[in-house]
Amino acid sequence: MELFIQTIVNVLILASVYILVSIGFAFLFNMLGILNLAHASIYMVGGYLAYFLIVGLGVSHWIAMLLTTVIIAALGVFLEKLCFRPFVGDFNRIVMVCVAITVILTTTVNIIIGSRQMAIPTFVDGVFKAKFFSVNWDRIVTFAIGAIILVLTIFFVNRTKWGRQMQAISQNMEAASLQGISIHRISAVACALGFGLAAIAGCLMGTLYNLSPFMGQLTLVKVLMVVILAGAGSFKGIFIVGLILGGLYGVLPVLIPGATSDAIAVAIFMVILLFRPEGFFGHEVEMGDNQQSESPLSTTAAGRTRWTIPVVSGGVVVILFILPLLLSSLYTLHILTLSFVYIVASVSLRTIAISGQFPLAHGAFMGIGAYLSGIATKWLGWSPWLAIPSAALISAGIGMFFGQPFSRLRALYYAMGSLFFGVGITQIISAGGIWTGGYSGLIGIQPMFMGSRVPYYYFFLGLALVSIFALYRFEFSRIGVNLKAIAQSHLVASSVGINEGWYKVLAVGVGCFFVGLVGASYAHYNLVLSPSSFDLTATLWLVMYVLIGGINSFTGPIIGTAILVLIPEFFRSLKMYSPYITAGILLIVVYLMPGGLVSLPQIARSWYKRLRIENREYVRGDDPMRF
């Protein structure tokens, strides 16, 4: 009886927290279509800020929660105006901004707090005892606070002028604007309210569990589950799906301990998403198409480009081949080797993306290849040279098998389905016991080469060159042209006889083959594997490599990976502060180079031409400031 009551209490607490964070996320998602991936970091910061106020300054719990909510809400208004509002409708840049915010917040907390374990003191001490059960008072109070906040939120959304305006904008933004509703003002209010709710949820969870700079990652996955399956525009659906999710994550760990219960919950939501992509209570969201056509070049510029790219590429390859002869630092050689690994992974991710799909499980497929090859060599006694291609083929097969049902999902829903799949894979790896090493990781993997790291450098350089060439030929073949046609308009592509589903599945298979190949090879280079190396964060960084370089150019992922992997190494002396360099690069590209780093030469040429024209007009006396 006591276990049953405690399970019910846990379900209600988890549900209330998930609903709080999800409603905050849904305000921006429903109104403006903003997928705020930084929301979980705001949740984490709310918990730490409350801890600082309560433990560090001795403020009472209630005042600390109020101050935390106000401060985080003010941060929400600031970020809405500077980071979200300018990029509404631009999915790629919103994702980059959110990742930059997450890096800045997580790094700041890491610098200030470090790896110390801490938790917010409970609101109330003691135990509530009844005849057949007992429950800690802190859990009862935590649930009561969450329930009261939810009731107030419902009242605000349904009974106040601002709340009704939010609902109007979420249903039809253009019509709401024509009726005189200030979109910017209401979006600022929504962002403040959403961030404040996330801060309150962080405070509540901080009293029950230890705080961690990375506590938001799994929470983000749960928030996405709730919001997507509830359906856009439905706040009622968030309450119902939040209760269901709280029940799953409250009951399953009691019946099935470990990561297996998490994997089962994710699998259930994946199946539901396949049959109800628009959610149970809302409508389907159409994300803006961010595929940009490449700017046409003049005949002279095109001629220069035809010869410049092969010459520059050949020169870079020659330099890379002789570099080990010039370098004495093994660490530098290691970083270059890793850059080859991530270049293959990011280019293969873009191969899937050119069909209009946005894969968020690519890191997990890299992990599939790595773990399959590692298990085959360690437990089955296979040679690495047999295990690596076998793992790559199996990764491609898994990608195509699961890609078939997901191929009918559009843009956002395909991204969410692949994200849930990736999370499920990492949880299965974590629950693999002795075969995968569980959370501790797999060790004792056979190496490909003995002794020096130089053979690995040349192996991964060769693998990168072969993979890049193969993927280049694939993209610029007739198959690649058809994939780009599907991305531009799947209806037009289908009308001319292009089999949309087959081509999308083929793109997934090719992308998963190469990322599985490089993942399997990486296993025999690193010799130790951990589930955290292939989780959602790893996938998001692969996406960043593609977006920073330029998703609309084949060379974009190569440039983006080189910049984000190599440049922070020049600031390695900054140690914990080096992630700020990465965040700075992200923000520079977002605000100044919408097409990615690959567009920098074009921007420079345009700036130079404009400067020449202005100087010429000034010399001729056409300066409008002259009298």
Mean pLDDT of 38-43: 91
State yes or no: pLDDT of 254 exceeds 80. no
Q: How far apart are CA 26 and CA 91, in angstroms?
A: 16
State yes or no: pLDDT of 314 exceeds 90. no
Q: How far apart are CA 267 and CA 250, in angstroms?
A: 16
| Helix and strand numbers, DSSP H then E, in the chain | 24, 2
Q: Maximum distance among all alpha carbons in the chain?
A: 96
Q: How far apart are CA 130 and CA 187, in angstroms?
A: 47
Helix (H, G, I), strand (E, B) or coil at 443: coil
pLDDT of residue 625: 46
State yes or no: pLDDT of 284 exceeds 70. no
pLDDT of residue 302: 44
Q: What tens digit of pLDDT does each residue of 374-422 get?
A: 999 999 999 999 999 999 999 999 999 988 888 877 777 888 889 889 9
**Per-residue pLDDT band at 121 (split at 50, 70, 90):** confident
The answer to whether the CB of 102 falls within 8 A of the CB of 37 is yes
pLDDT of residue 406: 82
* Domain ranges for the chain: 2-252, 329-595, 600-627
Per-residue burial over 488-510, b if 16 or more Cβ lie within 10 Å, else e, is: eebeebeeeebebeebbbbbbbb
**Mean pLDDT (the chain, rounded):** 85
Query: Do 2-252 and 329-595 share a fold?
Result: yes
Give the length of the chain. Answer: 627
Contacts of 242 by beta carbon, 8 Å cutoff, 6+ apart? 15, 16, 18, 19, 22, 226, 230
Q: How far apart are CA 3 and CA 9, in angstroms?
A: 10
Handedness of CA 149, 154, 156, 159 (dihedral sign): negative
Which of 7-16, 325-334, 538-547 bottoms out in mean pLDDT, i.e. has the lowest?
7-16
- What letter represents residue 415's amino acid? A
- Shortest CA distance to 472 belongs to which of 386, 417, 554? 554
CATH 1.10.1060 fits 329-595, yes or no: no
Contacts of 201 by beta carbon, 8 Å cutoff, 6+ apart? 17, 20, 21, 24, 43, 46, 146
**Per-residue pLDDT band at 272 (split at 50, 70, 90):** confident
**Per-residue pLDDT band at 286 (split at 50, 70, 90):** low
Fold of 2-252: ABC transporter involved in vitamin B12 uptake, BtuC (1.10.3470)
Mean pLDDT of 154-165: 87
> What does pTM read for this prediction?
0.88
Is the model more confident about 460 or about 146?
460
Q: What tens digit of pLDDT does each residue of 196-253 get?
A: 999 998 898 888 788 888 787 778 888 888 888 887 667 778 888 888 888 777 777 7
State yes or no: pLDDT of 105 exceeds 50. yes
Q: What tens digit of pLDDT does each residue of 573-592 get?
A: 777 888 898 899 999 999 98
Other Cβ atoms less than 10 A from the Cβ of 73: the count is: 20
